[in-house]
């Protein structure tokens, strides 16, 4: 599979061609982040490609998106806490400044992070964390992927659950 999915993350998720998808949720897709310098980084993608901001959704779908975001954050928290005793918390962000589609970032945070970065937003990490292949999503993250997916299943809320 090529990296073509990166240019149409939602469309490829809808077609079952996005390799980062963990689970289909009520409002979209839980996906692993492209980079894993903070292991467990995930993203919630809305399932409607034309939606750019939360306010573009009708209220019921907006609430479903926020509920799915909460569910993903809890799944990441549970999985990361179990796999790494240095897990501290999750940070949740809906930014929308770069990618033109609604999505929410879920960042696990750890006590082993550098002291000058641990208290700030993830976006202040050095550029190499975002581009160096050492931090790219890879098969070595499969256990983490499985754990987060299992937690999503335990937490319920799959399509058709209400």
Map out the domains of the chain with their CATH numbers: 3-149 (3.30.428.10)
* CA nearest to 98, candidates 9, 17, 21: 9
Whole-angstrom Cα distance, residue 21 to residue 12? 10
pLDDT tens-digit profile of 118-145? 999 999 999 999 999 999 999 999 999 9
Judge whether 121 and 66 are in contact, CB under 8 Å: no
Q: Per-residue pLDDT tens for 7-20?
A: 899 999 999 999 99
Compute the C-alpha angle 86/20/36, nearest 5°: 30
**Spatial separation of the C-alpha atoms in residues 75 and 40, rounded to whole Å:** 10
State the Cα–Cα distance between residues 80 and 111, nearest whole angstrom.
12
Burial zone of 79 (CB within 10 Å; 0-12 exposed, 13-18 middle, 19+ buried): buried
Q: Which two tokens stand for residue 154?
A: 């335990």
Q: How far apart are CA 80 and CA 108, in angstroms?
A: 7
Whole-model pTM: value is 0.93
Question: How far is Cα 47 from Cα 28, in angstroms, rounded to an integer?
Answer: 4
- Mark 9-32 as b/e (b = at least 16 C-beta within 10 Å): bbebbbeeebebbbbbbbbbbbbb
Task: Kindly state the tokens that stand for 51.
Answer: 């939606």
Confidence class of residue 160 from pLDDT cuts 50, 70 and 90? Answer: very low
Report pLDDT digits (tens) over 41-93: 999 999 999 999 999 999 999 999 999 999 999 999 999 999 999 999 999 99
């Amino acid at each position: 599979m090529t990296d073509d999915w990166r240019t149409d993350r939602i469309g490829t998720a809808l077609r079952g061609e996005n390799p980062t998808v963990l689970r289909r949720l009520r409002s979209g897709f839980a996906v692993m982040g492209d980079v894993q310098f903070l292991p467990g980084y995930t993203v919630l993608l809305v399932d409607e490609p034309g939606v750019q901001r939360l306010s573009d959704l009708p209220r019921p779908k907006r609430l479903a998106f926020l509920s799915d975001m909460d569910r993903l954050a809890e799944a990441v928290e549970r999985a990361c806490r179990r796999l790494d005793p240095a897990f501290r918390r999750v940070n949740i962000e809906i930014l929308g400044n770069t990618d033109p589609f609604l999505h929410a970032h879920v960042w696990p945070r750890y006590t082993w992070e550098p002291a000058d970065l641990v208290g700030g937003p993830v976006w202040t990490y050095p550029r190499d964390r975002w581009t160096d292949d050492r931090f790219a999503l890879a098969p070595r993250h499969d256990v983490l992927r499985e754990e987060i997916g299992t937690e999503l299943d335990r937490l319920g809320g799959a399509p058709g659950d209400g």
